[in-house]
Structure 1
Amino acid sequence: MIFDRGLIRRRLMRAAHREPSLFLLDYVVEDLCERLSFIKRSFTAIADIGTPAPVLAQALVRQYPEGKIVWMNPALPSDGKSFPKPQPYQQIVGDLEALPFGKEAFDLATSALALHYANDLPGILIQIRQSLKPDGLFLGCLLGGQTLHELRTCLATAESELCGGISPRVAPFADVRDMGGLLQRAGFALPVADSDVVCVRYQHLFALLADLRGMGATNSLEERLRKPTRRALFLRAAELYAERFSDPDGRIRATFELIYVSGWVPHESQQKPLRPGSAQMRLADVLPTKTYEPPKGT
């Protein structure tokens, strides 16, 4: 097990009860809805899986007003203060590791900034595919491998200097090059994966850490250090961060890599690749011929 799923639920709930930091989620939701707008069909049964706040579910209501939308979240507040009812979508509690859906229940499944906390990502993708009807679409976004590489470097360096070793503090994230293959292994047709890198600037390291707490995204690794971390370590990490990853105005940079994934449940109406060797024209006859001459003197 990589992640402590119980701890993730508690931290998401704490963030929801306080003042959640939603700027990154807002950015992702806008992009996901724009991608959906290019798909010329209507979806009537929609699942939003694991998204840590109802931002995506609310956007889907606006985009598909006739659709039935279910938002599944592992940490819905029990008092209803943070996400009050009634809402134009159904709220249910569930965990990514065991989706509470029947087979072929939806024609669209979405997920924003949740799947990177999965202990078994291939297994979850299979569950999502099974919950979709034939020709159903899955569209999601998760954090990728470049995410918070600056923070990871500075914490590791500071801990090595002060403690003589390092402990896991920043989660390992998926690689965009692997996601298309994972979708295909899960049984999706026409899989697509692409990435977008967002750089966020902060006044200092502690402002970044405050935002991560507001996202419910602080350390939830099973192998994390279980005793409190000395403040001296964070102070040293803040110094290193300012030295290595700051702009001329003194503000530091934090990278978030967003991996967008999509795939369709196979259906006979979908495009299929031609049989190898069935082409009736050479590619060279279609494409113009280009020549390259190296620069003189090389």
Structure 2
Amino acid sequence: MRVVMFGYQTWGHRTLQALLESEHDVVMVVTHPKSEHAYEKIWSDSVADLAEEHGVPVVIRNRPDDEELFERLKEADPDIIVANNWRTWIPPRIYTLPRHGTLNVHDSLLPKYAGFSPIIWALINGESEVGVTAHMMDEVLDAGDIVLQQAVPIGPKDTATDLFHKTVDLIAPVTIGALDLIASGQTEFTRQDRSQASFYHKRSEEDIRVNWDWPAEVLERLVRAQSAPYPAAFTFHKGKRLEILSAFVSEGRYGGTPGRIFYREGDGVVIVAGADARTGRNHGLAITRVRTEDGREMPASEYFTSMGGYLTSRP
């Protein structure tokens, strides 16, 4: 089939690579300009560079809503558009233009975790698996019928970085597998159960701020979800920002006030956690490695030279 690809960053790059290595003919690529947004500088393999290396015409747009692009798409005469990590709304006259419509590839197990940063949100929320879904695009974002979906389990120590690598490896088989089904003439696919749908916004600084009212189990997943190269989860100690690079859930149960720097356990320093910590039934978050405001990384046991005092969400 003749394919136009809409995509950005490493997700789009992997999708284009898969298409170029397939039997399908990539006739045009549409991608975004480079961005200085913190999360868009991560996993930033260039779709434009890959297309140009293979002689595929490239159009760069923030939004695909101008007449010039529409005319170029008509001239390209695609059988299908394939989109992955396209960051803005695609109007109906674009996604319905090809003979077979538009296939969107999304890095979650839809209908859950539509929208942005699905892997990070899924890890924080304690999901058992993540994956990649190829679905037909319609008027509701990430809501169209599912053509193909594959999942991978979330391990107890997996970071968001680990899960990125697991899911990005699914892009090629899911994308090409879905295209093969469409090319074979299949038109009936799995309707999404919208009662199970969830839609998430982009990550921001506020989303990585530690809230000591959260249970230690959730905070430990937040730390893993904000693994390098993502911005690290942070708190404040004596008015200065302190990033938490690694941590584990304590074996012991610790009572008192959330945020209290309390006890050494193994190679960690336990911080009291949970809104109901006063009951003494909660595990704490045992921090093992930190980064200070001036960029120094060190074991938490070195940083916390004595127990007592508090970590806080704000200076």
TM-score, length-normalised on structure 1?
Answer: 0.26
More strand by share: 2
More helix by share: 1
Structure showing greater relative contact order (alpha-carbon pairs closer than 8 Å, 6 or more residues apart): 1
